[in-house]
Structure 1
Amino acid sequence: MSTSQPETSWSSGERATPDDLLHARTGTDVAPEDLVLATGRDITPANMEWAKRKLETEGPSAIERILP
């Protein structure tokens, strides 16, 4: 059984995806749970407090600093 990945061919005309198409936010509000999970942490009372404080100081764009 093969575990290799299929080959990807890139033509010279292909470019990286523009930043405006890679935003993490979907135009909706960011919940503290979203911020905690985006950092890879477990949802605990301490992590939720951290996320609430971060959202209060940085606003919804805080998740943009964590995710591309």
Structure 2
Amino acid sequence: MPTSQPDSPSPFEDTATPDALLHTGSDGAVSPEDLVLAAGRDVTPKNLAWAERKLAEEGPMAIEKLLP
């Protein structure tokens, strides 16, 4: 998805996302909300319960299975 401004002279001026921003950071804390959002779900009590169970079983690496 282009991020150029409407008045930008060329869509080819877009820059790539820095590599450091593309990593999930599973070595840090992953919240149930993070897992729900990574799964593309709405943050609801039912989905938060699912995420809490998933994190209890798999730990922070659970998010790595959802993200490329």
TMscore range, shorter length: 0.5 to 0.7
Q: Distance in 2 between matches of 1:28 and 1:63?
A: 11
Q: TM-score, normalised by structure 2?
A: 0.64
Q: Which residue in the other structure is 1:49 paired with?
A: 49
4+ runs of 1 displaced by more than 6 Å? none
Query: Unaligned regions of 5+ residues in structure 2, if any?
Result: 1-10, 13-21
Residues 9-28 of structure 1 mapped to structure 2, 5 A cutoff: 23-25=23-25, 27-28=27-28
2:41 aligned partner, one-letter code: R
Please tell me whether the aligned partners of residues 26 and 61 of structure 2 are also in contact (alpha carbons under 8 angstroms). Answer: no
Deviations 1:2-49 (A, max 9, x none): xxx64xxxxxxxxxxxxxxx5322632000000000011100000000
1:35 aligned partner, one-letter code: L
RMSD over aligned Cα, in angstroms? 2.7
Q: Which residue in the other structure is 2:6 paired with?
A: none
- Give aligned pairs, total: 56
Q: TM-score, normalised by structure 1?
A: 0.64
Q: Distance in 2 between matches of 1:27 and 1:50?
A: 21
**Identity among equivalent pairs (%):** 59
Please tell me whether the aligned partners of residues 38 and 63 of structure 1 are also in contact (alpha carbons under 8 angstroms). Answer: yes
